[in-house]
Chains A and B, each alone.
Chain A
Amino acid sequence: MALQEDNLWYKDAIIYQLHVRTFCDSNGDGIGDFVGLTQRLDYLQELGTNTLWLLPFYPSPLRDDGYDIADYTTVHPSYGTLDDFKAFLTAAHNRSLRVIIEMVMNHTSDQHPWFQEARSSRDNPKRDWYVWSDTDTKYQAVRIIFIDTELSNWTWDPVSKSYYWHRFFNHQPDLNFDNPEVFEAMWEIMKFWLDMGVDGFRLDAVPYLVEREGTSCENLPETHAVIKEVRKRLDQFYPGRMLLAEANQWPADVRAYFGDGDEFHTAFHFPLMPRMFMAVKLEDRKPIIEILDQTPAIPANCQWCIFLRNHDELTLEMVTDIERDYMYDEYATDKTMRINLGIRRRLAPMMENDRRRIELLNGLLMSMPGTPIVYYGDEIGMGDNIYLGDRNGVRTPMQWNGGTNAGFSFADPERLYSPLISNSVYGYQVVNVDSQRRFSHSLLSWMKALIKTRNSYRVFSRGTMEFLRPSNHRVLAYIRELGNEKILVVNNLASSAQAVELDVQRYKGYIPIEMFGRNLFPRFGDLPYLLTLGPYQFYWFRLRRI
C-alpha cells in the first residue's frame, strides 16, 4: 500500500516511539536491530499507529543514549547496516507507516571526526566548526542544563589548549552555526536521509543552536533563522516531509518555533503531559484547562505533538515547584523513581496498573488536539525497573510473549542489553503481546479499538476544541469540531461515579452516538444534558443531526 499524498499527514499521524535496540533482536546478540524491527512491522500496523519515531541509531559512544553522534550517515553496527535500514524503511512504507528519525544539530560526540579534526590544531579547516575560546568567561549569562554533572558550559581541551562550548555533556561539543559550512554539512546529512525516504526529523535541542554574548543563548533570532532555512529547503526539495521540535519550554515560548508556519511543522507540548497525570490524581480538570487556556494558537499548517510517556523521565521542568512536589509525592514516593527534574516510570506502574486510569489517560491522549505519541510497550501496559541506572528502567526489551527472553531475542538472557521485566505483576510472562492478542478485552485490544476510532474521524486530528466547563470540576468535557463533524468528549477524572450536567444548548436537536458501542443516547434538548459516569469513565459521542 503506497503512502497517501498529503503534505499535512503529520496532523493525522499517530506516532509510535521506539528504540531499535529495545524492540526485536534478529541475530541473537541481545540487542534489537533493524531486521528485527522490520519483522515486527505487522504488529505496528495492526495496532493502528501510522508513524514510527526512531530514537538515535547512529554510531555513537553511547554516553548519552545515542544523542552523542559520531557518524551521521550510517547505522550503529549493533543495530545492523544501512541496507538493513533501507529495507526497514521500504517495508514500513509498504505498510503505510511513515518514519521519523532523530537529527541532533546542536552538537556531536567528541568522537566525531569533525571534532577530532577541529581539536587537532588551531589551523585545521574544521576548527571553526565548533565554538572555541581561550577563556571560559564568555556567555556567562547562560544556564547550565545538566547541573548534576556539569560545572560549566566550557570544557578545557588539552589537545588544542583551549576551551570548547557545550550546552549538554562535556563530551558533546556544540557546533558553530555561525559558520555556514556547518549548516551546509548538516543539510547534506539531512538530504542523505531524505533522499533515502525518511518522512521527517525530530530535531533535538533546537533552542541552543547559536550563541550570542549577553544573552541566554536560547531561542535567539539567529537560531530561528537556521530553522527557517532548513524548512525552506525542505519545502523546496522535499515537500511533504516534516520537522518536529524538541523544545522543553512553555507553550508561549515554543510558539515561536512554528514561526509563520515556516519553521517547525510540529512541536512537543511538554507542559500538558504532567498536567494530565496531575488532573487524574487531583480528580480535577483545572491543570489541563489552565495549560490549554495558556497555549497560544498556532499556524494552520502546524500541530502540537502530545504524549504521556517517552524514553526520558516524565519531565517536571514545566511545572511550578508546588506542582512538582505534588507529582513527586503522588507518583514517585520512592526516591529511586526520581531523576533530574522528573520521574523515571512507565504509564502502567504510575497508574498502579489500574486499567480504568490507563484507559482514561489514553482516551485523553487520543481525543485532545494534537498528534498523539505512544511509547513502545505502553499499549500492553509494560512495567519498569527503577533499579536500573539512568532512564534505562523504561527502556527494557519489548515483551512479545511469555517464552524465552519475552520473544525479544534468542540470546542467552545474560547477554541482553538490559534485563527483562520479570516481576509477578508486569513481568513478560504476564504482560506480553501474544497473550493480549488472544482476548478482546485486553489492553492491547482496547488500544487498537481506541486508535481505530481515532483514525476514523479527522476531527480528532484537525478539529477545533472547546471546553464545556460544567460545574462538576471532576469532569473534563469538550467539543471537537471540524466542519460538520462534531464530537463530544466527556471524561470523569475521579475515582468515584459522577453526575454532570452539560450545557449543550448550542447543539439542540443533535443526537449523541457513543462511538465505541455506536449506541444512541437521548437527543439534546433545551435543558442541561445529564450524564452519569463511572469511576474514570469517559465517553466519546459523535453528534449527529438526523
Chain B
Amino acid sequence: MADETFLSDDLLRQLMSVGEVDLLVGILSHRSANTMRRAAHYVEKSLQQNFVRQRVAIINVDGGAVEDSNSDERSDDGEEGNNSYSKGLNSLRTIHRVTAGFNGAPSPGLALRTILSSSDLLRAKACAVVSPATSSTSPEWVANLLRPAFRDSFDFVAPLYSRHKFQGLLARNLLYPMTRALFGRRIRELYSDEWAFSSRLGTFCLNEDMWHEEPVRSRPEAWMGISALTSDFRCCQVYLGEKPPPPDGAGPDLVEVLRQTVGSLFWLLETNQQAWMERKGSEAVPTFGPEHAVTAEPMELNRARMFELFQTGVKELEPILESILSAETLAGLQSIAGLVQNTFRFGSELWVAMLYEFAASYHHSVINRDHLVQALVPLYRGKIYSFIAEYADASAADMEAESENLCLEFEQQKPYLTEKWKAGVEVKS
C-alpha cells in the first residue's frame, strides 16, 4: 500500500480526479520547463498513438517546472477544440496530467517513490519513467518501454541503446559485467534514465523500507532493477535507439558518478548478499529489438590526462589502497602504473580482481565507504585509458567480443569475491 501521508494533499486531489488508470508515465523533470515540455509532448504523443483505448496518466515530478507544466496542460488536452477527428490516430480518452511539486530539489529516489505511490493509488498496470535530460527521447521509446510491461506481463523493462563504442564506458567496463556476473541476468542498462515496470514490481518496491538509504535516493532505478532480479520478477530489455551523451558539463563529475553508481552497486551487493552468492553463471533475458548496437566511427579523445591521473592516484593513494586491496592486486596496479603510455595495458584479470576486492572492502567497511569509492576513481581512469588505447581502431564486432570476454572474466572470478566477502577483514595478505 502507498504511504499516503507521504503525498501532498494537492497531489492526492489530482490523483483522485484521475481515478484508475492502465498506464502511468512519470517524467523526472529536472526543473527545466523546456525539456519537461518536450518530454511531455513525446509522452503524450506516444500515448495518443499507441494506447488509444487505455486509461493513461502522465505525472511530472519536480518542484521547479510546475507553472509551465500546468500551462501546457490545457492546450493539449484534446478537449479544447482542436479538430482531433481529422488527425486519424488519437486517444479515445482524456490523457490525465498530474504535477507533483516538492519544497526544495527532489532526489530521484523521492521522485520515484512519488511515482510508485501514485501508480499504486491509481492501480496502474504498467508504468514507465522517462527523463527530459535524454535528448533523443521519442514517442516510440515510451511505447516500446510500456508494451512489454503492459501487454507481455514483464515486471521490469530495461532499455537498450545504440551508442558509440566509447560512450557508456562505465556500463561496459564495470556496471554491466559486474551485475551480470553477480546477479546472473544479462541486463546491460540497469543504470538508466528510462525504464518501465509492472504494478507488481512497483508495489513490491514501494513496500520495501529502503527509501531513506542514500543509494536508493540517488539511483533508485538500479535498486529497482536489482530488486526485480533478486526477487525473480520477469525482466526484459527493449531496444530504444541512439542515446547521445549529455552535453559537456551537463552531468555530474566522475567522482559523483562513481559514488552514485558503483557505490550503489556495492551497497546493493550487501543488501542482496544471499541472492547473488547463490547464483552461478548468467542467463540472457528476453530482448525486444536488436541486442545491442555499437557504432565505431573515429572519435577524438584527450586521454593524456587520464593516464596521468591514474599514475598519480596509484602513487598518492597507496596507503588507502593498501587497506582495500590485496598485496598482489596492489602490486599489479603499481606495476602497470610504472609503464609508459604506449605500453600501458590494464588487463581484465587485474581489473576484475581489483573491483571484487573493492566490493569486499566496502562490505567490511575497511575504511569510510565514501572514501573507498573515491579511491576507485583514478583506477577507473586508468582502465578507461587502456580501453580506449586498445580499441581505438576496433570494429563494433571486436568490441562486442571483448565485452563478452570481460563479462566472462567477472563470472569466472566470482568465487574470489565470495571468498573475500566471507573472509572478514583479512584483505591484506
Which residues of A approach B to under 8 Å, CB–CB?
Answer: 250, 278, 282-287, 289-290, 293-294, 320-323, 326, 469-474, 494, 496, 498-501
Please, which residue of chain A has its CB at the minimum distance from the CB of B85?
A320
Given A286-B94, A322-B52: A494 and B89 interface contact (C-beta under 8 Å): no
Query: Which chain B residues border A286 with CB–CB below 8 Å?
Result: 78-79, 92-94
Query: Which chain B residues border A321 with CB–CB below 8 Å?
Result: 88
Residue from the list A250, A282, A470, A499 in contact with B92, Cβ < 8 A: A282
Please, which residue of chain B has its CB at the minimum distance from the CB of A469?
B79
Q: Which 7 A-B pairs have the closest CB atoms?
A: A471-B17, A473-B94, A472-B17, A284-B93, A293-B81, A286-B94, A289-B79
Contact in complex: A285, B94 (CB < 8 Å): yes
Q: How far is the CA of A473 from the CA of B55 in the complex (A)?
A: 11
Contact in complex: B93, A470 (CB < 8 Å): no
Counting contact residues on chain B (CB < 8 A from A), the size range is 20 to 34
Query: Which chain A residues border B16 with CB–CB below 8 Å?
Result: 472, 499
Contact in complex: A278, B79 (CB < 8 Å): no
Given A320-B85, A472-B19: A287 and B14 interface contact (C-beta under 8 Å): no
Contact in complex: B93, A282 (CB < 8 Å): yes
Contact in complex: A494, B83 (CB < 8 Å): no
Q: Which of B14, B80, B85 has the most CB of A within 10 A?
A: B85
Contact in complex: B84, A290 (CB < 8 Å): yes
CB distance from B110 to the nearest CB of A (A): 24
CB distance from B351 to the nearest CB of A (A): 53
User: In this assembly, does B90 line the interface, its C-beta being within 8 Å of a C-beta of chain A?
Assistant: yes
Residue from the list B18, B83, B89, B96 in contact with A294, Cβ < 8 A: B83
Q: How far is the CA of A494 from the CA of B94 in the complex (A)?
A: 14
Query: Which chain B residues border A470 with CB–CB below 8 Å?
Result: 17
Query: Which chain B residues border A501 with CB–CB below 8 Å?
Result: 13
CB distance from B8 to the nearest CB of A (A): 15
Q: How far is the CA of A285 from the CA of B14 in the complex (A)?
A: 17
CB distance from A95 to the nearest CB of B (A): 42
User: In this assembly, does B53 line the interface, its C-beta being within 8 Å of a C-beta of chain A?
Assistant: yes
Contact in complex: B90, A322 (CB < 8 Å): yes
Contact in complex: A293, B93 (CB < 8 Å): no
Contact in complex: A320, B88 (CB < 8 Å): yes
Query: Which chain B residues border A250 with CB–CB below 8 Å?
Result: 85
Q: How far is the CA of A496 from the CA of B55 in the complex (A)?
A: 15
Contact in complex: A473, B92 (CB < 8 Å): no
Q: How far is the CA of A290 from the CA of B19 in the complex (A)?
A: 21
Query: Which chain A residues border B19 with CB–CB below 8 Å?
Result: 283, 472, 474, 494, 496, 498
Query: Which chain B residues border A290 with CB–CB below 8 Å?
Result: 78-79, 84-85
Given A326-B53, A472-B16: A320 and B90 interface contact (C-beta under 8 Å): yes
B window 79-112: CB within 8 A of A: 79-81, 83-85, 88-90, 92-94, 96
Contact in complex: A322, B89 (CB < 8 Å): yes
Q: How far is the CA of A326 from the CA of B19 in the complex (A)?
A: 21
Q: How far is the CA of A428 from the CA of B6 in the complex (A)?
A: 57
Pull 15 A–B residue pairs with CB atoms less than 8 Å apart, ordered by A: A278-B92, A283-B19, A284-B92, A286-B92, A286-B94, A287-B92, A293-B79, A293-B81, A294-B83, A320-B85, A322-B90, A473-B93, A473-B94, A496-B20, A501-B13
Q: How far is the CA of A284 from the CA of B52 in the complex (A)?
A: 13
Contact in complex: A323, B17 (CB < 8 Å): no
Query: Which chain A residues border B55 with CB–CB below 8 Å?
Result: 283-284
CB distance from B370 to the nearest CB of A (A): 45
